[in-house]
A and B are shown apart, each in its own frame.
Chain A
């Protein structure tokens, strides 16, 4: 096969992969398992996020291999009603519905009934009633819900919410409040951040508050629970018989008192729950907007988040280069005692995931009394992580400068540091320009990891918008184009550097 044909084939393969990816991203186009398939399999696969925490689904502290929570028991009861076993499937909470039709038959994880969910998925009859509760430290100046209307002593109140939850929707809807809403992936993380004074308060479902009340004794509920709603079980839109079977099973559990007994067992006020479920009204599905409306609404948000992506990159990479260069010089020319320490620094940062490092900076440092704002932690985390890689590149670059250059500098009476500063480092910088530029592009894309510590950059914004509007594929294309528009100029720059270096080495004699 000629090179041209091979290139053509690769080209087509790329397109096929892109189309397959898009199809997979559209909800309901996967081959969802209908009721008969679930029965034949003998398993009902239910999805939840154990990181979401109790009382829904969480790891049993006394036996970390076991999952527990009232939804774990509910899933088992529903599966038994269908005559099958329940199997748990882990997923990130705000993306659990995307598992439907592929990795899971249903999602049972405190998903509130909302018009958007009713539009995109099949929502079961309600199985639990919740209300939202604001929680703050006992010594906080925030003493009532009304206090949120005016800024606190440190500016707008920083209120944590679970990303994609009803609490987030409620907080973002309330333009009358002086709050800065910060999205988290786990409820316990939120509570920890209130305890560590990173957040002023957190808004979450009342059952989560009472479940964690003993563990977070220094926190208290502020005001009465408000803005109530119900939880629903999500199934794929193209499995009507499975959805009906689950609805029927839930009905039986409610009528014969087994659901009430479950809630009583979990101290979740069974009788009250049954009354609330009886009176719950159905949530009508939202209308699907036009593509033009979607783009008009989403583009400004996506562009602003793209700005955050750029800010994170351009703030952290120069830092990474400075630290990396210092580490490289220290390892090659520093005092003997320093070298193993720097080697350790590089190995630790290269050997552990960026996500873990960001977590440590953002969630663990406050425990040591140093609470960094999320954006500072993100920039610092990216800079430190990439400094390890940059230091290795610069080390190779410094070693690639001929030893005669160092000798010539020393022979002119320069000190070691003058030689490094004026002779060796400038040459090493030129040598490593192409790999460093390509690392910048990599860092640029790695900024998406920062969403784990509440920084909303482009990928996170996409994910939130896609799930709330249901326009997963369309927004994916817009987001991908934005990334491309940002990284392509960088690629061009990188190639320009390489060509420049090649031309220079061609001119060199010998």
Chain B
């Protein structure tokens, strides 16, 4: 489902990512762990073209991204099949929860409004927020906002979901709400890559753990092996 081959990203002369190679099989969960500044988020953002890379290539959900070539049309096609959930939620504050969820299916995929709404309500139900369909993001808690953001991504029926530290901005109780949703998704066979500091989550859900240190893949393996001995 995802092949990353010899990826390098350079920012202000520094190699943020260097010769990163990894494979993610369909229906599996990969977590990216490692110290801050190790390149986890940059790698994730290279996978859907939010950031460019200087060397190597990425194949994701059947699309190819090649270093130095990032035509907008190609990136739009990739992003339609690859959802992303951000650390800061990034919900659209001027739209209600349900409108956040239905906007992209309507304008990108051309789904008729009534159908988009009915599917959007199902998704909000799935993340436990159908009561808040008409609420504005500013009136929701952080955990609720992140769950709406997950529903918003799922509405595009992505083949791959990318999570960029989805619980870092949340307190433990709200983190748990969000993690339950993500674990549930993983059990349903959704292919995903999750950047996280939360080793418990990695142990619960990850098929493989990739540890990035100073922009390089330090270790790759099952959670039990990589995280053995590590604390929270």
Interface residues of A (CB under 8 A from B): 402, 404-405, 407-416, 418, 422-423, 426-427, 430, 504, 507-509
B101-145 Cβ-contact flags toward A at 8 Å (1 or 0) = 001100111000000000000000000000000000011011000
CA distance A140 to B75 in the complex (A): 65
Q: Point out residues on B near A: beta carbons under 8 Å.
A: 48, 50, 72, 75-77, 79-80, 83-84, 86, 88, 90-94, 103-104, 107-109, 138-139, 141-142, 149, 152-153, 156
Contact A411:B94 (CB < 8 A) given known A404-B88, A422-B107: no
Which residues of chain B are near A407, meaning CB under 8 Å? 50, 86, 90
The answer to whether A411 and B83 touch across the interface, beta carbons within 8 angstroms, is yes
> When chains A and B are docked, how far (Å) is the Cα of A333 from the Cα of B88?
24
Chain B residue numbers with a CB within 8 Å of A402 are 90
| 23 A-B residue pairs with CB within 8 Å | A404-B86, A407-B50, A407-B86, A407-B90, A408-B84, A408-B90, A408-B91, A408-B92, A410-B50, A411-B79, A412-B103, A412-B153, A412-B156, A413-B108, A413-B109, A413-B156, A414-B107, A415-B72, A422-B103, A427-B93, A508-B138, A509-B138, A509-B142
Q: Is there an interface contact between B76 and A415, defined as CB atoms closer than 8 Å? A: yes
> Closest residue to B87 on the A side, CB-wise?
A404
CB of B115 to closest CB in A, whole Å = 17
Contact B90 A410, beta carbon cutoff 8 Å: no
| Interchain CB contact under 8 A, B93 and A508 | yes
In the assembled complex, the CB of A59 is this many whole angstroms from the nearest CB of chain B, namely 58
Residues A418 and B108 in contact, CB atoms below 8 Å apart: yes
Q: Which residues of A contact B83 (CB under 8 A)?
A: 411-412
Report Cα–Cα, A409/B100, bound state, in Å: 10
A507 touches B48 (CB 8 A): no
- Most central of A402, A407, A418 by chain B CB within 10 Å: A407
B94/A427 in contact, CB under 8 A: yes
Most chain A beta carbons < 10 A, residue from B88, B142, B149: B88
Residues of B within 8 A of A426 (CB): 94
Q: What is the CB-to-nearest-CB distance from A266 to chain B, in angstroms, rounded to a whole number?
A: 71
Q: CB < 8 Å: which of B72, B92, B108, B153 contacts A405?
A: B92
In the assembled complex, how far is the CB of residue A30 from the closest CB belonging to chain B, in whole angstroms? 57
Contact present for B94 and A414 (CB under 8 Å): no
Q: Which residue of B lies closest to A427 (CB)?
A: B94
**Which A residue sits closest to B140, measured CB to CB?**
A509
**A430 and B94 in contact (CB under 8 A), knowing A407-B50, A414-B104?**
yes
In the bound complex, what is the Cα–Cα distance between A504 and B94 (angstroms)? 10
For A506, the closest partner residue in chain B by CB is: B138
Task: Return A505 CB to nearest CB of chain B, in Å.
Answer: 8
Residues of A within 8 A of B79 (CB): 410-413
B149: A residues at CB distance < 8 A: 408
Q: How far is the CA of A413 from the CA of B107 in the complex (A)?
A: 10
- Complex formed: what's the CA distance from A507 to B136 in Å? 10
B39 to chain A, nearest CB (A): 18
Chain B residues contacting A412 (CB-CB under 8 Å) are 79, 83, 103-104, 108, 152-153, 156
A301 to B194, CA, bound (A): 72
- Min Cβ gap B1→A in Å is 18
